[in-house]
Chains A and B, each alone.
Chain A
Amino acid sequence: MTDLAHIRNFSIVAHIDHGKSTLADRLIQSTGGVTAREFRDQMLDSMDIERERGITIKAQTVRLHYTARDGKTYILNLMDTPGHVDFSYEVSRSLSACEGAILLVDASQGVEAQTLANAYLAIDAGLEIVPVLNKIDLPSADPDRVKREIEEVIGLDAANSILVSAKTGEGIADVLEALVTRLPPPAGDATLPLKALLVDSWYDAYLGVVALVRVKDGVLKRGMRVRMMSTGAVHEIESTGVFAPKPTNVDELGPGEIGFVTASIKKVADCKVGDTITEDRRPAAEALPGFRPSLPVVFCGLFPMDAADYGRLRESLEKLSLNDASFAFEAETSAALGFGYRCGFLGLLHLEIIQERLRREFNLDLITTAPSVIYRIQMTDGALEELHNPADMPDPARIAAIEEPWIKATILVPAAHLGGVLGLCTDRRGEQVELTFSGDRAMAIYRLPLNEVVYDFHDRLKSVSRGYASFDYQMDGYRAGKLVKLQIMVNAEPVDALATIVPEERAYQRGRQMCGRLKDLIPRQLFMIPIQAAIGGRIIARESISAMRKDVTAKCYGGDISRKRKLLDRQKEGKKKMRQFGKVEIPQTAFLEALKFDED
């Protein structure tokens, strides 16, 4: 057990690419946490995808030993946090285990949308914040301008900012020293009944379920019988340890300490993040304030390309959800796409990551339907229904009102590209809340329907700002809207996977766009195929795919019939990549392609 005065628990919060993982690496290296041989870049990003995309998805923790200028040795617990908005829930979880945070800002790029969002999360959590400007070795670094931005945009005193280059190591010693001198030590009492916050949990192939905890009061020891305060479940602690950064067993975890425990817990779901762990024999009187559960906000259907992979898809989703409680899925049947799952995600990046992991780690070929949000439907009989899938929309005659989720988006962009950004927001039904300037940078705050953001808003934003705009959002409640279900009929039959919910005033334009796109995406067939868009029973747009003009092998040479027979067999195989819909074969890729907005 460590003396509280010699513990500092901290996080690093930053915008993506501002160098958070590099700074963490440097702190680990300069305190001797790993030998040079063991060191690899971005130590804390354990998943391949994290390393490749340069983002942190799961929170990680590491214990550092630092001998300060006062001659005393301190334990510094670094909680690495995800930078992306989709994972802001994990950010707040990590922050609640800390007393302070490093606010890391790129000294040439300045304050970006996620800098702002994460800084506010840290301020809300009551943390002491140390601004650190990174990449000062770059010729374009402009620390004075960036300090001004921190003061003007975030409202933090930046006078005592530390200038570093995580790349060269310059300023790292000052950061370590500031952690000791500027952050408060944790408070807690080892004699009180045990109160430990369950910060995160995951499944480890060797250890089973591992729980990351922050001890507030009392002491956690091996062999102790502990109780989960939300469920009452009792477990015996099998081991306690810390990440240094390799998992290392310790005898006990005392107040202020961050570490892991294992306790023969079968399922991650039994380890509710945010729960309070107490001693079964001597329980605490009340639990620590928990977290609000993270709820999926974006939904989409995932279907196997090859129907035979359905079972494998289910197993893969189950495995992924072991380590990702925020990810939800339920079976879905589509007339067009067969059997699959409707999955809920924290946001678009979360969706992309899950898809990519299914493809990469589980080798699954998937069709993804268009992302959708959760609509709330007020029925005429007074009932309130949640709609996760546009195809399930009830009969409009029974609907009193439809509400859709809105977000509050913060966009930071150089003033030169502001016009394009404002145009995009207006185009996506945005309402301006605030527009402020700091130097030549503008901060625009907009309210936008989430539905307008889930398809390709981020790509469009990058494109209209030449990559300079940064974007972050938070949910901003529900609002009623004039929304209708846009049906697409191929050869007079509605295709459920292509149904979308759109604002009434956009329905005609969207209908025409979808029909036009499908006309190009569906190959010629033997028959003329009409493609129609409809609201209710009303056709609002129509295109047609003319029948194929010629399709026949010119020659069957020298009586070689076998070749033609083999060709037919191959065509049979190729059919698996198509979905038979009535008389029409639709390539699987068409389902997502058709839904892309076309604004270029």
Chain B
Amino acid sequence: MSAALTDPPEIALYVHWPFCRARCPYCDFNVHVRRTVDHDAWRRALLAELDHFAARTPGRRLTSIFFGGGTPSLMAPATIAAVIERASTRWQGAPDIEIGLEANPNDRAAFRPLAEAGINRLSLGVQSFDDRVLRFLGRDHDANEAREALDQAFAVFSTVSFDLIYAWPEQSEESWRAELAEALTRARDQLSLYQLTIEPGTVFDALRRRGALRPASGDAAGPLYEIAQDMTAASGLPGYEISNHARPGRECRHNLVYWRYGDYAGIGPGAHGRLTEGEIKRATRQLRSPERWLAATQAEGHGTAESENLGAAARAQEMLIMGLRLAEGIARADIRRETKSELGEVVNMDAVAELIEAGLLALDAERIGATAAGRQRLDAVLERLLA
């Protein structure tokens, strides 16, 4: 089935910086530890790949840039400035776009140079306000360093978000409430709360297999999630996505592009992109190995490992996977535009009816969305809808 798509007017840019000082035991992202990095070569390569994607999507309005990793706070500010500059000229940049970067609390000395390079939103990997937990998570900072980094970030950036990880083994509801209370006194506009999950190939996974680590079950994590929903809502930072909270109107614009299934170019090792090109929507993935990506980019101008042409069914699936994570749900008009099909043609309507009856899904003439209870169990809901 092929359906004509119209190129959207906008695009977002994701930049992946794959290097970290050390790998955290829970992390399964495309992360590498290298003693030295040739910053000039990496700057040139990122710019080349940016040019490659910009040439494929001419005339778009750039809405946001996000530097993720790895630890992009380890990037040379000159590289960041160059990427921002190039993106703003190759696409139609605007002075007020969101330019975000993820940072480690121990890189707080770099905050001012990062702001000067053009970063206006910082997302800080605080992870916990408990030294014991930070040690368990293998972080290289303590709680006070995290607090200090937060204070400095608020002084430098117009938007600051920070991450906490919860549902670590044996976490009590009281300690979570206390930690959240502190987080909510510090948070201004945005806060991300991620449940600790044990991913294959991580150190935690190896420990779990040996029986040395017992992750919290859905039964244990459920109450912690519910506490977080209640407390953040009461403090004016309701959850607008499963793990993301914001003052209404202050949501992270870049992440909303993913969840609303907009177009984004992904550059750097292992970066993912979704690009509408005429009739086709492509899922792009760049080479994961930093060295191979660098060599390919130097030789061919890009390090694309995979470029999948997504059919209407896959697009519908992806749209639901992402859109149902949002409290706002999905506009049915968007499903129609993206897949040229009605809802009934892309999901099992019996399952929809069943899920509505169970209070997990909400549907009206305009939108389909997961309820709060449905978002909390979204994997099972999606399995029912799609698998």
**What is the interface of chain A, defined by CB distance below 8 A to chain B?**
524-527, 547-562, 564-565, 568-569, 571-572, 575, 583
Contact = CB atoms under 8 A, between A and B. Distances in A.
A91 B191 CA distance: 78
Contacts of B66: 558
Contacts of B225: 550
Interface in B272-307: 272-274, 283, 285
A525 B351 CA distance: 14
Contacts of A547: 377
B308 A562 contact: yes
A583 B354 contact: yes
Given A550-B225, A556-B325, A561-B272, A526 B14 contact: no
B68 interface: yes
Interface residues of B, number: 50
CB-CB nearest 5 A-B residue pairs? A549-B222, A550-B222, A552-B378, A554-B195, A554-B194
A568 B383 contact: yes
Nearest to B221: A550
16 contacts: A526-B360, A548-B218, A549-B221, A550-B225, A551-B380, A552-B376, A552-B378, A554-B197, A555-B243, A559-B258, A559-B266, A559-B274, A568-B387, A571-B387, A572-B387, A583-B354
A565 B354 contact: no
Most A Cβ at <10 Å: residue of B314, B381, B387: B387
B321 interface: yes
A551 B379 contact: yes
A551 B378 contact: yes
Contacts of A564: 321
A525 B218 CA distance: 12
A559 B257 CA distance: 9
Contact of B376 (A550, A560, A565, A568): A550
B223 interface: yes
Nearest to B12: A559
Contacts of B325: 556
Contacts, number: 104
B20 to A, nearest CB: 14
A131 to B, nearest CB: 54
B19 interface: no
Interface in B176-209: 194-197
A569 B382 CA distance: 11
B86 interface: no
Interface in B347-387: 354-355, 358, 360, 375-384, 386-387
B122 interface: no
Which of A527, A548, A561, A565 neighbours the largest number of chain B CB atoms within 10 Å of its CB?
Answer: A561
Contact of A559 (B195, B223, B272, B384): B272
A572 B14 CA distance: 31
A569 B313 CA distance: 13
Interface string B313-353: 01001100110010000000000000000000000000000
A552 B16 contact: no
B219 interface: yes
Main secondary structure of the interface of A (DSSP, over half): loop
B264 interface: yes
A554 B271 CA distance: 19
A524 B219 CA distance: 10
B30 to A, nearest CB: 9
A549 B218 contact: yes
B29 interface: yes
A525 B258 CA distance: 29
Interface of B: 14, 16, 29, 66, 68, 194-197, 218-219, 221-223, 225, 242-243, 257-258, 264, 266, 271-274, 283, 285, 308, 314, 317-318, 321-322, 325, 354-355, 358, 360, 375-384, 386-387
Nearest to B358: A527
Contacts of A549: 218-219, 221-223, 376
B387 A575 contact: yes
A128 B221 CA distance: 74
Contacts of A575: 387
A568 to B, nearest CB: 5
Nearest to A524: B218
B151 to A, nearest CB: 26
A562 B285 contact: yes
A558 B242 contact: no
Given A551-B379, A561-B274, 17 more contacts: A526-B358, A526-B360, A552-B377, A552-B378, A553-B197, A556-B258, A556-B325, A558-B29, A558-B66, A558-B68, A559-B257, A559-B258, A561-B318, A562-B283, A562-B285, A564-B321, A572-B387
Contacts of A552: 242, 375-379
Contacts of A525: 380
Contacts of A550: 195, 218-219, 221-222, 225, 376-377
Contacts of B381: 526
A557 B31 CA distance: 13
Contacts of A556: 258, 321-322, 325
A583 B274 CA distance: 35
Contacts of B223: 549
Contacts of B376: 549-552
Contact of A558 (B16, B218, B380, B387): B16
Given A526-B355, A558-B271, A571 B222 contact: no
A561 B322 contact: yes
Nearest to A572: B387
A577 to B, nearest CB: 13
A129 B106 CA distance: 90
Contacts of B258: 556, 559, 561
Which residue, A527, A547, A559, A583, has most C-beta atoms of chain B within 10 A? A559
A167 to B, nearest CB: 43
Nearest to A562: B283
Nearest to B381: A526
A571 B380 CA distance: 10
Nearest to B383: A571
- B66, B225, B377 interface centre (most CB from chain A within 10 Å): B377
Given A549-B223, A550-B222, A552-B377, A559 B14 contact: yes
Contacts of B271: 558
Nearest to A549: B222
Nearest to A557: B29
A564 B379 CA distance: 9
B260 to A, nearest CB: 11
